[in-house]
Structure 1
Amino acid sequence: MRFERELILGGQKSGKSRRAEMAAAAWLAADAARDAVLIATAQPHDAEMHERIARHRVDRAARVPGLRTVEEPLALPGTIAALSAPGTLVVVDCLTLWLTNLTMPLHGAPADADDAAASLVAALHDARGPVVLVGNEIGLGVIPLGREVRAFVDALGQLNQAVAAACDRVTLMAAGLPLTLKEPA
């Protein structure tokens, strides 16, 4: 049985995380036996990020009380596989931070972005329940200065394309408004 996958893309503060939370709230409200879990990929490398993560935890718990959170900045495909079940919605927030963690680690060698994307797509195909993924669309602006930044923008664009191809629905958020790019056939 095939379960729906949705990719929600947008810029910073576009409403993409809120839309994913609304999907989780609707999923949970439809059946008391259902579960929903959010895989958070952010890492608190500085004081501002510590505060931001803490604020997101509190806000998310108030908006969607039944949404559990698992923090996993690196092993996203394995975590999706471990948490996915027919009665469980998995929300991933966000792919951009996950790719950043893998390809620009503070310590250790960077991972290959193509291998990471292939592993994620395989996990999506193998998921036993619905998955909603949140990511940034950062390729709409000017061409960034610096080879490393351009390489990251390219890698994120390729990741977004691979995930979009594996998803049944793709939504672009702008100013809190959804634009459907792909719908289930």
Structure 2
Amino acid sequence: MNPSESPRHELILGGAKSGKSRTAELRAKAWLEAAPGRSATLIATALPGDAEMAQRIRRHQVDRAARVPALETVEAPLELPGVLRALAQPGHLLVVDCLTLWLTQCLWPPGAQQPDSTGWPAREAALLAALRDSASPVVLVSNEISLGGMPMSREARVCVDTLGLLHQRVAALCARVTLMVAGCEWKVKEAP
């Protein structure tokens, strides 16, 4: 990217095991190899809520280190907008994996007995502002969960609706939107 150009963001959506994280990591690898002096950081949002999730996180870490050894990692399970702002600089790619977990943890903080969406509008606004203001290109990974049936519980419906609206707002700020299906990329949006 030419320093005089504005950063180009990408939203990568897909279902479970669709290849979205791997694709984001390969974007980082290509970014790092394209020009000397570039850097990249993955901003991980997952919290290990149980043993199986902790194992998933470890597997992602090992796989990521093997695929893209130069990709640094920062953990930001709740304070994603602030971390995006702190790390943004020209020549530095940021990869967010993933918006779904971040939103879920914001709506249903660890240890909470009930979901709480009262603080969500401010968190979403902070994320969108951080993306608009970013000096870094940002690749955002998220689960496309709205293609199935309507969930039975109110809490699940709120989560699906909120994530769908977040995707729309993030996509509006992205030059590229990619949908992953069975490891294959489908270009949904590609701005000139």
Task: Quickly name the TM-score band, shorter chain normalised.
Answer: over 0.9
Unaligned stretches of 5+ residues in structure 1: none
2:175 corresponds to 1:171: no
1:137 alignment counterpart = 144
CA offset at residue 31 of structure 1? 1.8
Moved more, 96-105 or 110-119: 110-119
Moved more, 104-113 or 24-33: 104-113
Separation in 2, partners of 1:113, 1:176: 32
2:64 corresponds to 1:60: yes
Separation in 1, partners of 2:20, 2:121: 24
2:52 alignment counterpart = 48
Calculate the TM-score normalised by the size of structure 1: 0.96
2:131 corresponds to 1:124: yes
CA offset at residue 115 of structure 1? 2.5
Q: State which of 89, 92, 99 in structure 2 corresponds to 1:88.
A: 92
AA at the equivalent of 1:56: H
Separation in 1, partners of 2:155, 2:21: 27
Separation in 1, partners of 2:156, 2:142: 17
1:156 alignment counterpart = 163
2:6 alignment counterpart = 2
Moved more, 111-120 or 78-87: 111-120
Separation in 2, partners of 1:85, 1:51: 32
SS at match of 1:90: strand
Separation in 2, partners of 1:95, 1:86: 23
CA offset at residue 45 of structure 1? 1.2
SS at match of 2:13: strand
Q: How much is the aligned-residue C-alpha RMSD, in angstroms?
A: 1.2
SS at match of 1:170: strand
Separation in 2, partners of 1:129, 1:9: 20
Identity across the alignment (%): 58
Separation in 2, partners of 1:138, 1:60: 24
SS at match of 2:48: coil
AA at the equivalent of 1:133: L
Separation in 2, partners of 1:150, 1:110: 14
SS at match of 1:143: coil
1:110 alignment counterpart = 116
- How many residues are aligned here? 185
Separation in 2, partners of 1:13, 1:183: 24
Unaligned stretches of 5+ residues in structure 2: none
Q: State which of 135, 146, 153 in structure 2 corresponds to 1:146.
A: 153
- After superposition, the C-alpha distances for 1:107-142 in whole angstroms (9 at most, x for unaligned) are 357353333222111000111011000001100001
